[in-house]
Structure 1
């Protein structure tokens, strides 16, 4: 089954890229030449860079090589997807444009075939001695070439603009989103308590120290009472990314951390110790009793392969159920265990809100909540879209955010 799936994926990729090359380069040129060869090199080279970037990141290749491959490779992933989508939309435009040209051509020919009038020397009008020969209609291949160039050019411009705007949005830093969450057991004195929820920063070969500093500055500007970093902080080793994560020492409020699935791709134990050194408190299936509520955290599901998976009984089993409990858990699917253990509010990330439309359709199918606040029985779940991006440093239809959760007491 794995081999069959791999063959199907490869077939789809090859077909899709052949289609992109055909519509952008073959159909827009009159014959073989350097443009078609350059187009083939661009498409093939882009995918080689993309696969190289993915393999380099996963295998821990030298960091300079990861950075060299990451920018062009990951951006090509986003660009090729939107080129394909734009060209598919263009298929609906092609027949309309061809019909418009066919209607316009006879009218132009009729005007040219009309006999013009000359003015004689005496000022009298007289017909031209010899009528102009009728101009033949443009051959069909010329019309097809024109249509292909218009549709291909428009598709390329739309894809480049979409990726450009989406990349600028990520690099410019996350926006601040504010959400009020009423909790029945929260004491009156905790009314207005603010938790800054940060997830999916994804420091790596693309997003580095400068981006981490933007995140820290944004969090500090909200003046939270507590910072919750709910996983996927990094994509790489402490050796390569320790300096990139260093700005986290500048957080002005107490900060807590739980692992995400990408920490287990990057050496989770080393990163737990590193964030502890930076002044954050890791919650590894653990709980702290704050003055007005319990704050608990569980490991990510990806830790199960290393014997470090989530343990809700360890984190929540002996707590006082009369106290409000806020749980940090990277993946929204962990909400079902949270409901069973009487959690009042779970804070998660992981989904990126889909990151690249229409990726939200896939992410919605895989997660109970894609983004925002929802209720599951007596438990509420809030999912942030995350501060950074994985793979392409690009977001379309799912802008990045840092969410400030303001707890509200129903006794206030």
Structure 2
């Protein structure tokens, strides 16, 4: 007898994934806020413990709510509070963990004096680093000068300068004045080419128009070029490409321009960020072949690709690749987590025949802090052999 195959029932959702995600969030909050609470609050008399517990007890559940309102619903006031809180609590969490070393060194000191000494040390170091970190984040980036020899560069282009600006992250904190000063710093270098390698802004063009406007005052005789970073794909990537074009920049959305000096040429190309294809935005996705379509043969290639790990797809096909994304770690010891995702944290590196320069970035994302990861505007001088 022939059996009729029954239609397969749709698989019911068990709710495990949301449950796992919620569990991870709760665990992260408990660690992020709980470790500093235990280090800074518990060693003291009851009134201090009660006051500190109330403070941490309010801050911990308020944090994800503010994050959601700020970055999920576009409320800049909430994002400013949440981002600042994240930076502060990360610094105190990291140094509370590191204080275990001091605890071992002070084994000969009786409790509660030992724990109180450690609490004071963590508090002093944390406050100092937060103050230093805010100053570093808000200052005009330092100029970092680098010389790069390109074997295929013609003598007519020897000495060509490229000002690399990346990861400006114009966002909830209004940095219009910083933007004007940064643009002036770039112009003071009198570069031949200016490149912005992505993560221009967080939010819509309408929200960040005033902060981005000073980039329109930057000048360069050979080219001003821009390519997308991953943060553009959280919102209006195409709108940002169009807006930068309206400011007079060449938006390198998988395309290139050719610059010439002294009878020699250089291809300046850009590809979309590594996350572009997954964004689902029509026509977006990193495509080097498309970017170089129609480019002249035997001409050196300078490529903008936001994430250093994109070198895996471009190595041995371009001469010099410019990246950002890492922020140099931004807030130590986050450096070590970044290195698990990217092949390089910052600086010049060699990958086959391709050289990669990774900038620490000009701005910051999230917490307005930079700890042991100074911002930079990079002036790259290209040298012929």
Normalised by the length of structure 1, the TM-score is 0.82
Q: 1:23 aligns with which of 35, 39, 53?
A: 39
Matched, 1:295 2:268: yes
Change (3 A) 1:252 1:151: same
Aligned to 1:80: 89
Distance 1:378 1:398 in 2: 28
Q: 1:41 aligns with which of 51, 54, 61?
A: 54
Matched, 1:215 2:182: yes
In structure 1, list runs of 5 or more residues that go unmatched. 101-142
Deviation readout 1:218-260 (Å, 9 max, x if unpaired): 1112110111000001011111111111111110224211011
Q: 1:397 aligns with which of 346, 368, 372?
A: 372
Aligned-pair distance for 1:16? 4.5
Aligned to 1:230: 197
Matched, 1:69 2:78: yes
Secondary structure of the residue aligned to 1:403 is: strand
Deviation readout 1:170-201 (Å, 9 max, x if unpaired): 11121000111101111101000000011101
Distance 2:31 2:135 in 1: 30
Distance 1:333 1:206 in 2: 29
Q: Is the 8 A contact 1:46 1:72 kept in 2?
A: no
Runs of 4+ in 1 over 6 A off after TM superposition: none
Change (3 A) 1:13 1:225: same
Q: Is the 8 A contact 1:234 1:266 kept in 2?
A: no
Distance 1:97 1:381 in 2: 45
Aligned-pair distance for 1:28? 1.1
Aligned to 2:230: 261
Distance 2:39 2:313 in 1: 50
Aligned to 1:322: 298
Aligned-pair distance for 1:98? 5.8
Q: 2:353 aligns with which of 378, 394, 398?
A: 378
Aligned-pair distance for 1:311? 1.4
Distance 1:386 1:334 in 2: 17
Change (3 A) 1:59 1:90: closer
Deviation readout 1:203-226 (Å, 9 max, x if unpaired): 001252112112211111211011
Q: Is the 8 A contact 1:50 1:74 kept in 2?
A: no
CA RMSD of aligned residues (A): 2.0
Aligned to 2:10: none
Q: 1:12-411 maps to which residues of 2 (within 5 A)? A: 12-29=28-45, 31=46, 33=47, 35-48=48-61, 50-61=63-74, 65-66=75-76, 68-94=77-103, 96-97=105-106, 99-100=108-109, 144-253=111-220, 254-291=223-260, 292-304=265-277, 305=279, 306-307=281-282, 308-339=284-315, 342-410=317-385
Number of residue pairs aligned between Structure 1 and Structure 2: 360
Secondary structure of the residue aligned to 1:176 is: strand
Distance 1:14 1:162 in 2: 23
Normalised by the length of structure 2, the TM-score is 0.87
Distance 2:106 2:351 in 1: 51
Aligned-pair distance for 1:264? 1.1
Change (3 A) 1:266 1:354: same
